Amino acid sequence: MKIYSYFLSPSFKKIWLSADLVELLHLPGSSSIWLEYRQWLNLVHPDDRKRAEIAARKKSREQIGRVTYRIKIADSEYLKVEDIRQEIPVEGTEKRLIQGMLLPLEPGRHTITVQQALYEIARLSVEKDNLVELLQAIHLTIRNLMPAENFYIALYDKESGLVSFPYFVDEYDPPPPPQPAGRGLTEYVLRTGQPLLASPEVFAKLESEGQVESIGAPSVDWLGVPLRVQDEVFGVMVVQSYTEGLRYSEEHLEMLSFVANQAALMIKKNLAEELRKETERLLADSFASIQDGISILDLEMNIVRVNPVMEKWYAHALPLVGKKCHLAYHGKSDHCLPCPSLETLRTLQPACESVPRTGPGGKITGWLELFSFPLIDHRTGRLKGVIEYVRDITERKKAEEAMLASLKEKEILLKEVHHRVKNNMQIISSLLSLQSEYLKDPEARSALKECQNRIYSMALVHDKLYREKDLASIDFGDYAEKLLVHLFQVHIPSSEGVTFSVRVDVPALTVDMAIPLGLILTELVSNSLQHAFNPGQEGSLEVSFLPEGENLVLEVRDDGRGYQLESGSRFGLEIVRLLSAQLGGKFNITGLNGGGTLARVSFPRPRPAPG
């Protein structure tokens, strides 16, 4: 007597037949095959065909069904079989596969006993959702068929390469831990995929051939059969005897094979279910353990699931699940704008927005940073909703507001400093002007006036910084024009017939650069106005400040009477040289062909501040 297995696809279009069933039906080939379901029904006796098809499609409350029919095994010969079948879920889908076993109905108590055992195992697989409980029930069922005091199940994990023993009952050996596949009898059955009755003689032969090695207490008889689903062997079912008078036969091997064929799918299904539950537990624990908020929304912006953090933040709005997110989280009757989740539903792209966290009555109790991500069904590729990842940024917001307030205070203070420096310089300038009225020496009075101009150039920098929004730098073009207006007014009447132009094309300058450049410009322009033109003489003065390669170049050009080095200008030009060196540059002044003077200061571009 043998038992034959098959699998029927959820669509009832295809049926998978085991190799021994292919052989029984005398179909072409020597291995398992897929047939069209109609081809299969054509093998069923015409009088039984309708009953067999109805039974296959019928939904059973216990998910286990049985039907008896005749199946064609030769040209005109039919074999009566009992079809015991069960629905099992297809991993990763909502579909269900039908697994069936054909048991030939032969006269005799032995056949009836095996039938009962197989049906009992099928029933247990529905009732037992715990793997150990299922294996324990299978053990008890097998003990009704044969001596099975010492019984274990070994399972092989391809990914880890480990053999584990979820159920192990033995008189001498304790349950072994998971271990790499070795050379024991268990691994021999795993490798060959064939049942094995290992008497002492058989074991000695296999050992001498190097096929196996002795592990654990030596048994009198060792009987192992593969646990197989379709063509995959994933484990071994074993009984063994340590009693000399208790021996196993081929009949026991056949019976254990029957049971293993039926139990294999139940065990596999239970393993998959336990793995699914463990995965769900892990995901649930991870979901609940995240210290930031998680909210899952459907396509209609209804809350599907939240983690404990969200429930804590919005305890006043519980229960959250089932409500519109804008109503539960913000107390609004319509969508918030802007809404990152709506943006994600529209674009299928992640989005981010800072949103207020509200309490009872819509009062703002804090601030949240909301990241929205599309929730995609990995099987269909379709959008299912939105995952909102929410981080509390209340303290960060407070820190930012405090920092902005502090910066505002410092900005006001710094402006006040620039204002006071400018005022103090104006006071100094006024004192020098007052002092010059008491001097009769023209050179002394001229020196005081030059000092006033230098003080004005520095005061003008602080005045511009006081008036600018950016306290770190100034626009040198605007600064240069205002400075030249002042210098032309100071040097009347020699400047009355002279026009000037300013061309600046450099970035804004820091205070450290603007002050020395302002002093340089003051000295060079004053030098031209004092020594290049006579009172009332027409002429022009050009100021340019432009980039040139890796340098910045400040030039003052006039069309006056040519290069003249008067005694009074020596000190001013010496200041220009010193300040040019301070900037890391060079200064030179030359007369131009046809009249006029060109003063030139060249220095390296300032490097941007790090960060």
Please list the alpha-helical segments (H only) found in 349-475: 394-436, 442-467
User: Please, which residues have CB within 8 angstroms of residue 438's CB and are 6 or more apart in sequence?
Assistant: none
Among residues 485, 502, 514, the alpha carbon closest in space to that of 542 is found at 502
Tell me the pLDDT tens digit for each residue of 570-602. Answer: 777 888 898 899 899 999 998 888 788 999 999
Tell me the pLDDT tens digit for each residue of 490-518. Answer: 787 888 889 999 999 988 888 788 888 88
Q: What angle do CA 241, 243, 244 make, to 5 degrees?
A: 115
Tell me the pLDDT tens digit for each residue of 414-464. Answer: 556 655 666 666 777 677 777 777 677 777 877 777 777 777 777 776 676
Residue 464 has a pLDDT of 63
Domain 290-392 grouped into CATH 3.30.43.10: no
Phi, psi (5° rounding) for residue 481? -65, -45
Pairing of strands 303-306, 293-298: antiparallel
Domain 107-272 grouped into CATH 3.40.50.720: no
Residue 61 has pLDDT above 60, yes or no: no
pTM, to two decimals: 0.47
Q: Kind and range of the H or E element at 384? A: strand 383-392
User: Cα(374)–Cα(365) distance, rounded to whole angstroms?
Assistant: 28
Among residues 159, 156, 220, the alpha carbon closest in space to that of 186 is found at 156
Q: How confident is the model at residue 65 (pLDDT cuts 50, 70, 90)?
A: confident
Same fold, 107-272 and 474-611: no
What tokens appear for 495 in the block? Answer: 């400047």
User: Cα(261)–Cα(363) distance, rounded to whole angstroms?
Assistant: 66
Domain 474-611 grouped into CATH 3.30.565.10: yes
Among residues 246, 265, 276, 253, the alpha carbon closest in space to that of 138 is found at 265
Q: What is the DSSP letter of 568?
A: G
Q: What is the DSSP string of 337-378?
A: SS-HHHHHHHHSS-EEEEEEEE-GGG-EEEEEEEEEEEEE-T
Q: How confident is the model at residue 552 (pLDDT cuts 50, 70, 90)?
A: very high
Tell me the pLDDT tens digit for each residue of 192-228. Answer: 999 999 999 999 999 999 999 988 888 999 999 999 8
Please list the alpha-helical segments (H only) found in 146-237: 185-192, 200-208
What tokens appear for 455 in the block? Answer: 């003080």
Residue 385 has a pLDDT of 93
User: Domain segments of the chain: what residues?
Assistant: 1-106, 107-272, 290-392, 393-471, 474-611
Residue 478 has a pLDDT of 84
Q: What is the DSSP letter of 202?
A: H
Residue 124 has a pLDDT of 64
Among residues 608, 557, 555, 559, the alpha carbon closest in space to that of 586 is found at 555
- The top-scoring range by mean pLDDT among 254-258, 388-392, 436-440 is 388-392
User: Cα(590)–Cα(316) distance, rounded to whole angstroms?
Assistant: 82
CB atoms < 10 A from the CB of 560, how many? Answer: 22
pLDDT, averaged across the chain: 83
Helix, strand, coil % over all residues of the chain, rounded to 5: 45, 30, 30
Residue 466 has pLDDT above 60, yes or no: no
- Cite the beta strand spans of 18-158 per DSSP E: 33-36, 64-72, 78-89, 96-104, 150-157
Residue 142 has pLDDT above 90, yes or no: no
Fold classified for 1-106: Beta-Lactamase (3.30.450)
